[in-house]
Amino acid sequence: MPAEHDIAIFLVGLATLLAVARLLGELSRRLRFPAVAGELAAGVFLGPTVLGRLWPGSVQWLFPKGAPAAMLAGYTLLSAVLLLTLAGLEIDLSVVVRRRREAAVTSFAGVLLPMALGFGLGWVLPDVYLVDPSRRLLFALFVGTALSISAMPVIAKTLLDLGFLRTDLGLLVMAAAMIDDLAGWLLFSLLVGPMHGRSAGFAQLGLRMLAIALFVAVVIGLGRRVLDRVLSALEADRMSAPGRVLSLLFVLAILGAAITQAIGIHAVFGAFIVGVAIGDSPRLRTETRAVVHEFVSNIFAPVFFAAVGLRVDFIASFDLRLVAAVIVVACIAKVAGCTLGARVTGLSWREASSVGFAMNSRGAMEIILALVALESGLIRTPIFVALVVMALFTSLLAGPVMQRLLRMRRTTSLRALAEEGAVLPSLRARTAEQAIRELAHALAAGTPIDGNVLAESVLEDETAIACGLSDGVALPHARIADLPRPMLAFGRAAHGVDVNAPDGEPARLFFLLLIPESRAAEALSIYVVIVQSVATEEQRRLLLEATDRAAILDALGRGETASLPELRYVE
């Protein structure tokens, strides 16, 4: 056990890092930046960049070398491992398989161009930026790889905020980003060994490639199926808390990390692959994922990113020309590559370019990659700083640009609202209250919102139950304080449900409309569009007779007579 003083210092350092990182992370989110920007800023503030200048002794006191540093390093290592596991969990191989053609084209172009331009940039940068100019080939390959990865979690978040995650466009972007991530990390894993100055002879490299291929094949090919069985046994007991699965996930992630670390690739790669294998199992309950997500993003990740900020003096190592060059090359290469790829698959230029900007986000993944390269002695601090700034910049850029590009997609918005929300072709409900519950649960599924809480919030407003319009339509609606965006669920009850309608007719078409408090002003216009969409006998017949989800969505799209004025793409 380390000495008493070391323990106290470790605890103080950890508490400080987490507290400041979480505070700045929340602030960052409130300013509509990604949380990682604030978390990183916490480290920049507590480290040599700010505090170290103002009060030089303080940084050495708070984060001394020796035992406290080792304990903190253990913690940040675990954080990186868990972060990558979480990133792996979010990869849904079935989405990739379903969209394989479009996604392959988009991601191929989106990797090739950044790889080429990044390699070029690495090749022409002055010697002063290189640790060892004699290893320029390796360096240039790294810059190419660094520019070609995407940041799946950031992209998913941007799409979710904009209400595109479950649309065709969103699925294409996600599938392409997943391929990018897999390819990028595979490439990177090949570079890490030689980075350590180990002999990069062909035999050596071949052996390492073989080991990686074997690891990936065993984990994804065999391990995935075994895991699916194990999880099916563990998660079948629906009464039990997710404890066993949590332990299993943690053990496997750490083991995967240890194995790749031993092969000579970085630990995070193994954790990522294990995450992919586990996350792919449909047996993994949403609840379990949520618990992991909560812990990683609130306890581990902020400390990791703050620790990144601690590592270098961001002012001293900030080289404006280098930063500008990296950002310009990164953005042009990725946006152009992905846009071209997406255009080839048949999207309009406008949609294709929104795909390009979405995939341009680098976020946390780039930061982890840059850190590993810095630690491996492959890059110097100015390149590290440039990559970190580029990662943040591209992540910030995606949202606003996509908003602007997609603002014109107005005419499909009722359809999109339902597509993004929930469509239930046959409700089981026998009462209005039950129908509201059913729709609320469907809306909440797949979001962090609790279905019960949502239903209760709607039902607290008594007028929600008395929601019957005429002609068998019911339109319960409610304002909900902390909803991320307007949400719509549509459901049909062929048997008819008594909703106390003015014409006494039982309702067979249900729309549940939820509006965030902050956007209450939009409620009426959406309400009107819904009413118009079921105004005629013909429209209602189409909706009632549609045979599946797709047909219902088409009917909603066709039935829509007015456009929703800037419904979702303007904040």
The tally of CA atoms less than 13 A away on the side-chain side of residue 62 is 20
Total of residues contacting its own copies (CB under 8 A): 69
Is the Cβ of residue 239 or residue 494 nearer to its own copies in the bound state? 239
Residue selected from 124, 137, 241, 570 as contacting its own copies according to rule CB under 8 A: 241
Question: Cβ 26 to its own copies, closest distance in Å?
Answer: 7
For residue 569, the 8-state DSSP code is S
Binding test (CB under 8 A) with its own copies, winner from 200, 205, 209, 299: 299
Say how many CA atoms lie within 13 Å of 215 toward its Cβ: 27
Residue 348 binds its own copies (CB under 8 A): no
Query: CA-CA distance, 444 to 427, in Å (whole number)?
Result: 16
- Beta 422-424 vs 477-480: how paired, if at all? unpaired
Q: Which stretch binds its own copies (CB under 8 A): 218-226, 324-332, 477-485, 504-512?
A: 477-485
Task: Write down the least CB distance from residue 451 to its own copies, Å.
Answer: 8
- Residues 175-214: x where in contact with its own copies by CB under 8 A, - otherwise, as a string: ---------------------x------------------
Residue from 240, 348, 500, 518 touching its own copies (CB under 8 A): that is: 240
**Span near its own copies by CB under 8 A; candidates 199-207, 212-220, 297-305, 397-405:** 297-305
Q: DSSP secondary-structure letter at 360?
A: T
Alpha-carbon distances, residue 113 vs 44, 122, 176, 331, 526 (angstroms): 32, 14, 15, 11, 42
| Segment lying near its own copies (by CB under 8 A), choices 50-58, 182-190, 232-240, 360-368 | 232-240
Candidate list 135, 224, 244, 410; residue touching its own copies; CB under 8 A: 244
Contact pick of 85, 106, 107, 297 for its own copies (by CB under 8 A): 297
Does the footprint of its own copies cover residue 375 (CB under 8 A)?
Answer: yes
Residues in the chain: 571
Q: 449, 493, 499, 530: which one contacts its own copies (CB under 8 A)?
A: 449
405 interacts with its own copies by CB under 8 A: no
Nearest-approach distance from CB 306 to its own copies, in angstroms: 12
Question: Cα–Cα distances in Å, from 328 out to 121, 188, 320, 367, 402?
Answer: 11, 22, 12, 18, 18
302 or 337: CB nearest its own copies: 302
Directed axis angle between helix 286-295 and helix 243-263, to 10°? Answer: 60
CA distance 403 to 569: 5
Angle subtended at Cα 321 by Cα 28 and Cα 141, rounded to the nearest 5 degrees: 90
Kindly identify the residues of this chain, within the stretch 35-74, that bind its own copies according to CB under 8 A.
Answer: 67, 70-74
Residues within window 519-538 making contact with its own copies, judged by CB under 8 A = none
CA nearest to 499, candidates 533, 454, 469 = 469
CB neighbours (10 Å) of residue 448?
10
Written in H, E and C, the secondary structure of 494-557 is EEEEECCCCCCCCEEEEEEEEEEHHHHHHHHHHHHHHHHHCCCHHHHHHHHHCCCHHHHHHHHH
483 binds its own copies (CB under 8 A): yes
| Binding flag, residue 496, its own copies (CB under 8 A) | no
Q: Which residues bind its own copies (CB under 8 A)?
A: 1-2, 4, 7-8, 10-12, 14-15, 18-19, 22, 26, 67, 70-75, 77-78, 81, 196, 237-244, 246-247, 250-251, 254-255, 257-258, 261-262, 267, 290-291, 294-295, 297-299, 302, 375, 430-431, 433-434, 448-454, 457, 480-483
